[in-house]
């Protein structure tokens, strides 16, 4: 211990750093756990800490670490559920101990459960602090008690995960440190045009997306069911608008002989009969424009109507004689038509919606089949695994998370960092990230109807969606930056190494 404490003492104007060994569960990047580990190592203060990594095999994660100049050692830590692995267990323990002694490791930090037993025992035998970083809500039962007994500290990624260890009496042993996102990588001014071009989506197309592994607990099936509901609602509204547009184009010929006071019917939205009397059938009459020959109407203070434009008395209308009479009951038809056109425009936009499913996993073919069964295969795009997630987020109009239970939700803070409104299930740690009605909308898990309603709400209310995106970015800056995440973990290291 005294030898470790001397490391930060000034020697010839330089400070020596502590050696930290990270235990990775996989050699490739499979999800948020590997991304979090990589981000932590990249942002670690190198003047205080020098990272080393042990991985069970090589892959995309170890390749990136190698390019960063991080020493990587391959040591296989096999599952102990198979009794035949007992011999490999002792081999792995010995290999870990040798590496710890060779590199003069000061602290071991396990990033996942499988390697925790191996690395915990090795750290105990080497008499150095050991941290278990827990990223999963689900308890391992008795195994949790065994592993926690090997730990000096347990770091959890959310309060939801922290509840897994509510039975531990030492409250200071379990520390919550939220995951962090690189705000220079995920930001608001990234262009998503390349993604739109790749999938032939124009700028008018609204994109609703979900990012994550295609596994059951992520709830992609409810995303697809909601997509069908949104598509159906959009089609229904489009049909209602088409019917309304058709009805508004109907022109009725009214004879002045039927009007004792010679008043003509005017047009659209709140018509009048005689002397201000409201028509009883406004739904029908609102679509009516009376047509009168000029010679029959010239004695009645004629106004002609060309989309609300006033003509001089007796002047021939450019709109082929369709007239409005009596200034006391004249309606500004131009305003009404403009409002109708705006409604049609909004509905047309709603019908042009695409759904993006980003990620890969064992349920990919099953989800593709579901999209066909729901009749939305043309509206849904499966992108597979992508490395350009910032650009993916930038292309989206709305980000959706449908997890039945969520340990944290790294993709949520990535979307929020890009200024996107979030619709997410009210499960696990998500309410710790998304402030309902402020940075996004929370919906019940496994409820595609509520999910669809939320999507439609934000598609219709662009201003609200924009405000939520701005508030989301601010919340990430305050709580979920990679800098804050790294500094908090470094404080845990120093508290253990200096005690």
Give yes or no for a contact between 331 and 274, defined as CB atoms under 8 angstroms apart. Answer: no
Tell me which long-range contacts 478-483 makes (C-beta under 8 A, separation of at least 24).
479/178, 480/178, 480/179, 480/180, 480/181, 480/413, 480/416, 480/417, 480/433, 481/180, 481/181, 481/183, 482/39, 482/40, 482/43, 482/180, 482/181, 482/182, 482/183, 483/43, 483/180
Residue 214 has pLDDT above 60, yes or no: yes
pLDDT category at 294 given cuts 50, 70, 90 is very low
Instruction: Find where tokens 């409810």 sit.
Output: 222
φ and ψ at residue 425, rounded to 5 degrees:
-75, 145
Residue 256 has pLDDT above 70, yes or no: no
What's the pLDDT at 243?
A: 57
Instruction: Please give the Cα distance from 488 to 178 (Å, whole number).
Output: 9
Cα 50 to chain centroid, rounded: 34
Give yes or no for a contact between 97 and 119, defined as CB atoms under 8 angstroms apart. Answer: no
Q: Mean pLDDT, to the nearest integer, of 273-279?
A: 43
pLDDT tens profile 58-88: 999 999 999 999 999 999 887 666 666 667 8
For the record, the structure tokens of 377 come out as 């295969």
Please tell me the least confidently modeled range out of 45-54, 92-101, 290-299. 290-299
Q: In the chain, where does the domain assigned CATH 3.40.50.2000 lie?
A: 2-180+482-497, 193-237+347-479
What's the pLDDT at 245?
A: 54
What's the pLDDT at 112?
A: 76
Q: What percent of the chain has pLDDT above 90?
A: 66
Residue 343 has pLDDT above 80, yes or no: no
What's the pLDDT at 389?
A: 96
Residue 23 has pLDDT above 90, yes or no: yes
How much is the mean pLDDT over the chain? 81
Residue 247 has pLDDT above 90, yes or no: no
Instruction: Please give the Cα distance from 292 to 311 (Å, whole number).
Output: 15
What's the pLDDT at 266?
A: 37
What's the pLDDT at 32?
A: 86
More confident site: 312 or 177: 177
Q: Within 218-332, where are the H helices? A: 220-248, 282-285, 294-297
Residue 279 has pLDDT above 90, yes or no: no
> What three-state secondary structure class fits 176?
strand
pLDDT category at 249 given cuts 50, 70, 90 is low
Tell me which long-range contacts 217-221 makes (C-beta under 8 A, separation of at least 24).
217/403, 217/404, 217/405, 218/402, 218/403, 218/404, 219/402, 219/403, 219/404, 219/425, 219/445, 219/446, 220/357, 220/363, 220/367, 220/402, 221/367, 221/370
Give yes or no for a contact between 236 and 227, defined as CB atoms under 8 angstroms apart. Answer: no
What's the pLDDT at 164?
A: 96
More confident site: 14 or 341: 14
Residue 47 has pLDDT above 70, yes or no: yes
pLDDT tens profile 310-323: 344 444 444 433 33
CATH superfamily of 2-180+482-497: Glycogen Phosphorylase B; (3.40.50.2000)
> For residue 264, what is the DSSP state?
P
pLDDT category at 350 given cuts 50, 70, 90 is very low
What's the pLDDT at 335?
A: 40
Tell me the helices (H) and strands (E) count for the chain, helix number first: 19, 15
Nearest to 58 by CA among 48, 66, 50: 66
Instruction: Find where tokens 């004689």 sit.
Output: 321
Residue 278 bridge partners (DSSP): 272
Instruction: Please give the Cα distance from 413 to 32 (Å, whole number).
Output: 11
What's the pLDDT at 246?
A: 53
The whole model's pTM is what?
A: 0.75
More confident site: 25 or 81: 25
pLDDT category at 89 given cuts 50, 70, 90 is confident
pLDDT category at 325 given cuts 50, 70, 90 is very low
pLDDT tens profile 414-433: 999 999 999 999 999 999 99
Instruction: Please give the Cα distance from 435 to 474 (Å, whole number).
Output: 12
Q: What is the fold of 193-237+347-479? A: Rossmann fold (3.40.50)
What's the pLDDT at 123?
A: 97
Residue 53 has pLDDT above 60, yes or no: yes
Q: What share of the chain is helix, strand, coil (3-state, %, to 5)?
A: 45, 15, 40
Instruction: Please give the Cα distance from 45 to 150 (Å, whole number).
Output: 27
The C-alpha angle 162, 177, 5, rounded to 5 degrees, equals: 115
């Amino acid at each position: 211990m005294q030898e470790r404490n001397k490391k930060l003492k000034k020697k010839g104007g330089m400070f020596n750093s502590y050696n930290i060994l990270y235990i990775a569960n996989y050699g490739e990047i499979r999800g948020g756990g590997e991304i979090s580990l990589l981000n932590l190592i990249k942002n670690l203060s190198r003047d205080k800490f020098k990272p080393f990594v042990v991985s069970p095999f090589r892959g995309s994660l170890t390749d990136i670490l190698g390019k960063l100049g991080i020493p990587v050692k391959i040591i296989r830590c096999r599952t102990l559920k198979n009794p035949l692995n007992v011999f490999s267990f002792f081999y792995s323990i010995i290999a870990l101990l040798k590496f710890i002694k060779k590199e003069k490791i000061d602290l071991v930090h396990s990033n996942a459960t499988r390697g925790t037993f191996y690395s915990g025992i090795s750290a105990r035998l080497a008499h150095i602090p050991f941290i278990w970083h827990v990223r999963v809500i689900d308890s391992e039962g008795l195994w949790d008690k065994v592993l926690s007994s090997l730990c000096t500290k347990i770091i959890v990624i959310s309060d939801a995960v922290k509840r897994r260890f509510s039975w531990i009496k030492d409250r200071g042993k379990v520390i919550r440190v939220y995951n962090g996102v690189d705000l220079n990588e995920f930001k608001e001014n990234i262009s998503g045009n390349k993604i739109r071009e790749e999938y032939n989506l124009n700028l008018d197309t609204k994109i609703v997306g979900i990012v994550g592994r295609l596994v059951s607990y992520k709830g992609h099936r409810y995303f697809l069911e909601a997509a069908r509901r949104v598509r159906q609602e959009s089609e229904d509204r489009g049909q209602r608008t088409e019917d309304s547009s058709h009805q508004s184009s109907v022109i009725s010929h009214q004879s002045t002989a039927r009007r004792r006071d010679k008043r003509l019917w005017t047009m659209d939205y709140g018509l009048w009969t005689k002397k201000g009397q409201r028509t009883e059938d406004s739904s029908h009459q609102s679509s009516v424009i009376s047509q009168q020959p000029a010679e029959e109407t010239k004695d009645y203070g004629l106004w002609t109507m060309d989309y609300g434009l006033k003509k001089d008395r007796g002047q021939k209308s450019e709109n082929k004689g369709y007239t409005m009479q009596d200034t006391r009951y004249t309606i500004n038809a131009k305003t009404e038509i403009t409002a109708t056109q705006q409604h049609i425009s909004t509905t047309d936009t709603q019908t042009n919606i695409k759904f993006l499913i980003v990620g890969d996993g064992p349920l990919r073919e099953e989800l593709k089949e579901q999209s066909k069964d729901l009749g939305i295969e043309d509206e849904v795009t499966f992108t597979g695994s992508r490395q350009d997630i910032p650009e993916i987020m930038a292309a989206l109009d709305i980000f959706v998370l449908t997890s039945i239970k969520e340990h944290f939700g790294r993709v949520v803070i990535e979307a929020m960092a890009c200024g996107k409104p979030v619709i997410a299930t009210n499960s696990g740690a998500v309410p710790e990230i998304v402030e309902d009605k402020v940075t996004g909308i929370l919906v019940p898990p496994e409820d595609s109807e509520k999910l669809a309603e939320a999507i439609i709400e934000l598609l219709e209310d662009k201003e609200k969606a924009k405000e939520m995106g701005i508030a989301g970015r601010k919340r990430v800056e305050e709580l979920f930056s990679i800098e804050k995440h790294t500094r908090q973990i470094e404080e845990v290291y120093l508290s253990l190494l200096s005690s």
